Structure 1
Amino acid sequence: MGRKLVIAIAVLACIVVVAGLFWWFATSSAPPDAASTEDGASTEDGSQAAAVLEALETDPESLLPDELAGTVNLKEAIPPGTEVEARAESWTPSEAGGGVITVTLTYADGSSANLAAVMAKEGNGWKVLQTIPLEHAQ
Protein backbone atom coordinates (compact mmCIF):
# COMPACT_ATOMS: atom_id res chain seq x y z
CA MET A 1 0.00 0.00 0.00
CA GLY A 2 2.93 2.36 0.59
CA ARG A 3 4.09 2.18 -3.03
CA LYS A 4 0.57 2.86 -4.40
CA LEU A 5 0.29 5.89 -2.12
CA VAL A 6 3.59 7.32 -3.36
CA ILE A 7 2.52 6.84 -6.99
CA ALA A 8 -0.86 8.45 -6.30
CA ILE A 9 0.82 11.44 -4.65
CA ALA A 10 3.27 11.79 -7.57
CA VAL A 11 0.43 11.71 -10.11
CA LEU A 12 -1.54 14.25 -8.08
CA ALA A 13 1.53 16.50 -7.85
CA CYS A 14 1.99 16.34 -11.64
CA ILE A 15 -1.66 17.26 -12.18
CA VAL A 16 -1.34 20.22 -9.81
CA VAL A 17 1.83 21.44 -11.58
CA VAL A 18 0.25 21.14 -15.05
CA ALA A 19 -2.92 22.88 -13.86
CA GLY A 20 -0.81 25.61 -12.27
CA LEU A 21 1.10 26.16 -15.51
CA PHE A 22 -2.11 26.38 -17.51
CA TRP A 23 -3.50 28.89 -15.02
CA TRP A 24 -0.26 30.94 -15.05
CA PHE A 25 -0.11 31.15 -18.84
CA ALA A 26 -3.85 31.89 -19.11
CA THR A 27 -3.77 34.74 -16.58
CA SER A 28 -0.42 36.32 -17.44
CA SER A 29 -0.82 39.56 -19.34
CA ALA A 30 0.03 39.77 -22.99
CA PRO A 31 3.31 41.48 -23.88
CA PRO A 32 3.01 45.22 -24.43
CA ASP A 33 2.05 46.38 -27.87
CA ALA A 34 5.10 47.42 -29.87
CA ALA A 35 3.62 50.87 -30.34
CA SER A 36 2.89 51.52 -26.68
CA THR A 37 4.04 50.51 -23.22
CA GLU A 38 2.51 50.86 -19.75
CA ASP A 39 4.34 54.11 -19.00
CA GLY A 40 2.97 55.78 -22.12
CA ALA A 41 6.26 55.76 -24.01
CA SER A 42 5.90 54.66 -27.60
CA THR A 43 7.80 53.95 -30.76
CA GLU A 44 6.67 57.44 -31.75
CA ASP A 45 8.84 58.73 -28.88
CA GLY A 46 11.81 56.95 -30.47
CA SER A 47 11.12 58.59 -33.84
CA GLN A 48 10.77 61.99 -32.18
CA ALA A 49 13.97 61.54 -30.16
CA ALA A 50 15.89 60.43 -33.26
CA ALA A 51 14.67 63.47 -35.20
CA VAL A 52 15.59 65.82 -32.35
CA LEU A 53 19.11 64.37 -32.15
CA GLU A 54 19.82 65.79 -35.61
CA ALA A 55 20.16 69.13 -33.78
CA LEU A 56 23.48 67.83 -32.43
CA GLU A 57 24.95 68.72 -35.85
CA THR A 58 23.85 72.37 -35.75
CA ASP A 59 22.70 73.38 -32.25
CA PRO A 60 23.83 70.82 -29.65
CA GLU A 61 23.28 73.27 -26.78
CA SER A 62 19.53 73.06 -27.45
CA LEU A 63 19.52 69.41 -26.36
CA LEU A 64 21.02 70.00 -22.93
CA PRO A 65 18.70 70.22 -19.93
CA ASP A 66 18.56 73.68 -18.38
CA GLU A 67 20.63 72.45 -15.42
CA LEU A 68 23.53 71.39 -17.69
CA ALA A 69 23.57 74.37 -20.05
CA GLY A 70 27.09 75.79 -20.23
CA THR A 71 28.66 72.91 -18.26
CA VAL A 72 29.58 70.68 -21.22
CA ASN A 73 32.31 71.45 -23.76
CA LEU A 74 30.20 70.66 -26.81
CA LYS A 75 32.87 71.72 -29.32
CA GLU A 76 35.06 68.95 -27.94
CA ALA A 77 32.25 66.42 -27.66
CA ILE A 78 30.71 67.19 -31.05
CA PRO A 79 33.27 69.00 -33.22
CA PRO A 80 32.13 70.92 -36.31
CA GLY A 81 31.54 68.59 -39.26
CA THR A 82 30.25 65.73 -37.10
CA GLU A 83 27.40 63.75 -38.63
CA VAL A 84 24.77 62.27 -36.31
CA GLU A 85 22.79 59.11 -37.02
CA ALA A 86 20.21 58.21 -34.38
CA ARG A 87 18.52 54.84 -34.82
CA ALA A 88 14.84 55.19 -33.89
CA GLU A 89 14.39 51.40 -33.94
CA SER A 90 16.86 51.11 -31.04
CA TRP A 91 14.64 53.23 -28.76
CA THR A 92 14.10 51.59 -25.38
CA PRO A 93 11.59 53.38 -23.16
CA SER A 94 12.35 53.93 -19.49
CA GLU A 95 9.94 53.22 -16.65
CA ALA A 96 10.70 56.72 -15.38
CA GLY A 97 9.75 58.27 -18.71
CA GLY A 98 12.05 59.09 -21.57
CA GLY A 99 14.35 56.37 -22.81
CA VAL A 100 17.62 55.35 -24.41
CA ILE A 101 18.54 55.45 -28.09
CA THR A 102 21.65 54.38 -30.00
CA VAL A 103 23.53 57.12 -31.83
CA THR A 104 26.52 57.00 -34.16
CA LEU A 105 28.69 60.10 -34.43
CA THR A 106 30.86 60.24 -37.57
CA TYR A 107 33.58 62.85 -37.20
CA ALA A 108 35.03 64.98 -40.01
CA ASP A 109 38.19 62.81 -40.06
CA GLY A 110 36.07 59.69 -40.84
CA SER A 111 36.31 58.10 -37.40
CA SER A 112 33.12 57.25 -35.57
CA ALA A 113 31.77 56.55 -32.12
CA ASN A 114 28.68 54.63 -31.02
CA LEU A 115 26.82 56.03 -28.03
CA ALA A 116 23.71 55.35 -26.03
CA ALA A 117 21.90 58.64 -25.45
CA VAL A 118 19.76 58.78 -22.32
CA MET A 119 16.90 61.15 -23.08
CA ALA A 120 13.95 62.70 -21.30
CA LYS A 121 11.25 65.19 -22.15
CA GLU A 122 11.76 68.60 -20.57
CA GLY A 123 8.95 70.99 -21.20
CA ASN A 124 7.87 70.38 -24.78
CA GLY A 125 11.16 68.99 -26.08
CA TRP A 126 13.57 66.11 -25.76
CA LYS A 127 16.85 66.62 -23.89
CA VAL A 128 19.98 64.48 -23.66
CA LEU A 129 20.71 63.73 -20.01
CA GLN A 130 23.79 61.60 -20.60
CA THR A 131 25.69 59.72 -23.28
CA ILE A 132 27.36 56.38 -22.71
CA PRO A 133 30.07 55.10 -25.08
CA LEU A 134 29.30 51.68 -26.50
CA GLU A 135 31.94 49.09 -27.34
CA HIS A 136 31.73 47.87 -30.90
CA ALA A 137 30.83 44.15 -30.88
CA GLN A 138 32.94 42.09 -33.25
Structure 2
Amino acid sequence: MRKRQRPARRAPISQVYFTVVGENKPGRVVLSLNDFTVPAAGIPLTIARKYDSLERSVNGDFGYGWSLGIYATRLAVAPDQSVTFTDPASGRRVNFGFTPRAYGGLMSFLYEAAYTGEQGVYGKLTDDGCGVLYQSGRQYRFTCSNTYAPT
Protein backbone atom coordinates (compact mmCIF):
# COMPACT_ATOMS: atom_id res chain seq x y z
CA MET A 1 0.00 0.00 0.00
CA ARG A 2 1.30 3.38 -0.89
CA LYS A 3 0.18 6.67 0.46
CA ARG A 4 -0.16 9.43 -2.01
CA GLN A 5 -0.07 13.05 -0.95
CA ARG A 6 -2.16 15.64 -2.65
CA PRO A 7 -0.61 18.98 -3.41
CA ALA A 8 -1.44 21.41 -0.63
CA ARG A 9 -3.73 24.21 -1.53
CA ARG A 10 -2.16 27.59 -1.25
CA ALA A 11 -4.09 30.21 0.63
CA PRO A 12 -4.20 33.68 -0.90
CA ILE A 13 -1.55 35.98 0.51
CA SER A 14 -2.14 39.64 1.18
CA GLN A 15 0.90 41.82 1.81
CA VAL A 16 1.08 45.36 3.14
CA TYR A 17 4.31 47.35 3.12
CA PHE A 18 4.86 50.34 5.38
CA THR A 19 7.74 52.57 6.38
CA VAL A 20 8.29 53.95 9.87
CA VAL A 21 9.54 57.53 9.84
CA GLY A 22 11.22 59.06 12.87
CA GLU A 23 13.22 57.95 15.86
CA ASN A 24 10.61 55.52 17.21
CA LYS A 25 12.14 52.07 17.51
CA PRO A 26 9.52 49.48 18.52
CA GLY A 27 10.84 47.54 21.46
CA ARG A 28 13.46 50.09 22.45
CA VAL A 29 13.70 50.93 26.13
CA VAL A 30 15.52 54.04 27.36
CA LEU A 31 15.68 54.81 31.07
CA SER A 32 17.47 57.71 32.78
CA LEU A 33 18.04 57.99 36.51
CA ASN A 34 19.51 61.06 38.21
CA ASP A 35 21.85 59.95 40.98
CA PHE A 36 22.62 63.39 42.35
CA THR A 37 22.90 67.06 41.46
CA VAL A 38 25.54 69.40 42.85
CA PRO A 39 24.51 73.06 42.78
CA ALA A 40 27.66 74.99 41.92
CA ALA A 41 27.10 78.75 42.17
CA GLY A 42 23.67 78.43 40.60
CA ILE A 43 24.95 76.23 37.77
CA PRO A 44 24.23 72.60 38.70
CA LEU A 45 26.25 69.56 37.70
CA THR A 46 24.07 66.45 37.35
CA ILE A 47 25.35 62.87 37.46
CA ALA A 48 22.96 60.35 35.94
CA ARG A 49 22.78 56.75 34.74
CA LYS A 50 21.21 55.88 31.42
CA TYR A 51 20.05 52.50 30.10
CA ASP A 52 19.45 51.96 26.38
CA SER A 53 18.26 48.56 25.15
CA LEU A 54 19.93 49.20 21.79
CA GLU A 55 23.26 49.26 23.68
CA ARG A 56 22.56 46.08 25.67
CA SER A 57 25.56 44.31 24.14
CA VAL A 58 27.95 47.11 25.15
CA ASN A 59 29.55 46.79 28.58
CA GLY A 60 29.18 50.36 29.82
CA ASP A 61 30.03 52.23 33.02
CA PHE A 62 27.41 50.38 35.12
CA GLY A 63 27.13 47.11 33.19
CA TYR A 64 25.66 46.04 29.88
CA GLY A 65 23.47 48.73 28.34
CA TRP A 66 24.21 51.26 31.09
CA SER A 67 26.24 54.44 30.66
CA LEU A 68 27.15 57.46 32.75
CA GLY A 69 25.33 60.62 31.77
CA ILE A 70 27.05 63.81 32.89
CA TYR A 71 25.02 66.80 31.87
CA ALA A 72 27.64 69.50 31.61
CA THR A 73 26.54 73.09 31.43
CA ARG A 74 26.63 74.63 27.96
CA LEU A 75 28.38 77.95 27.45
CA ALA A 76 27.56 80.48 24.71
CA VAL A 77 29.36 83.75 24.04
CA ALA A 78 27.46 86.58 22.34
CA PRO A 79 29.08 89.09 19.96
CA ASP A 80 29.12 91.65 22.80
CA GLN A 81 31.20 89.13 24.87
CA SER A 82 28.38 88.44 27.34
CA VAL A 83 28.25 84.80 28.46
CA THR A 84 25.19 82.56 28.83
CA PHE A 85 25.26 79.24 30.70
CA THR A 86 22.50 76.73 29.95
CA ASP A 87 21.73 73.70 32.08
CA PRO A 88 20.69 71.00 29.56
CA ALA A 89 18.72 69.00 32.15
CA SER A 90 16.39 71.84 33.20
CA GLY A 91 16.90 74.36 30.38
CA ARG A 92 17.68 77.09 32.94
CA ARG A 93 19.79 79.94 31.56
CA VAL A 94 22.12 82.22 33.50
CA ASN A 95 23.46 85.37 31.83
CA PHE A 96 26.57 87.37 32.67
CA GLY A 97 27.10 90.69 30.93
CA PHE A 98 30.62 91.71 29.88
CA THR A 99 31.44 94.82 31.94
CA PRO A 100 35.16 95.60 31.60
CA ARG A 101 36.65 97.78 34.33
CA ALA A 102 39.24 100.47 33.66
CA TYR A 103 42.38 100.33 35.79
CA GLY A 104 42.21 104.10 36.33
CA GLY A 105 44.90 106.71 36.85
CA LEU A 106 47.65 106.76 34.22
CA MET A 107 46.48 103.34 33.01
CA SER A 108 42.84 104.38 32.46
CA PHE A 109 43.07 103.26 28.81
CA LEU A 110 43.67 99.66 29.97
CA TYR A 111 40.83 97.41 31.10
CA GLU A 112 40.35 94.27 33.15
CA ALA A 113 37.77 91.72 31.97
CA ALA A 114 34.78 91.57 34.33
CA TYR A 115 31.30 90.04 34.22
CA THR A 116 28.10 91.05 35.99
CA GLY A 117 25.31 88.53 36.61
CA GLU A 118 21.73 89.38 35.77
CA GLN A 119 19.32 90.24 38.58
CA GLY A 120 18.75 87.25 40.88
CA VAL A 121 22.04 85.54 39.96
CA TYR A 122 24.30 85.17 42.97
CA GLY A 123 27.11 83.32 41.22
CA LYS A 124 30.27 85.00 40.02
CA LEU A 125 32.04 84.64 36.68
CA THR A 126 35.70 85.61 36.47
CA ASP A 127 38.23 85.53 33.66
CA ASP A 128 41.14 83.12 33.75
CA GLY A 129 43.73 85.88 34.04
CA CYS A 130 44.32 86.10 30.32
CA GLY A 131 45.63 89.61 30.34
CA VAL A 132 45.14 93.32 30.07
CA LEU A 133 42.68 94.68 27.52
CA TYR A 134 42.39 97.91 25.61
CA GLN A 135 39.43 99.24 23.66
CA SER A 136 39.64 99.51 19.88
CA GLY A 137 36.35 100.80 18.50
CA ARG A 138 33.67 98.45 19.78
CA GLN A 139 36.08 95.59 20.49
CA TYR A 140 38.29 94.89 23.46
CA ARG A 141 41.71 93.54 22.54
CA PHE A 142 44.66 92.07 24.37
CA THR A 143 47.73 94.25 24.52
CA CYS A 144 49.19 91.83 21.93
CA SER A 145 46.41 92.95 19.47
CA ASN A 146 44.36 89.74 19.50
CA THR A 147 40.58 90.09 19.92
CA TYR A 148 39.41 89.10 23.40
CA ALA A 149 37.36 85.89 23.55
CA PRO A 150 36.19 84.55 26.92
CA THR A 151 36.41 80.90 25.83
Q: TM-score range by the shorter chain?
A: under 0.3
Larger radius of gyration: 2
Is the helix fraction higher in 1 or 2?
Answer: 1
Select the structure that is richer in strand: 2
State the TM-score, normalizing by the size of structure 2: 0.25
Instruction: State the TM-score, normalized to the length of structure 1.
Output: 0.27
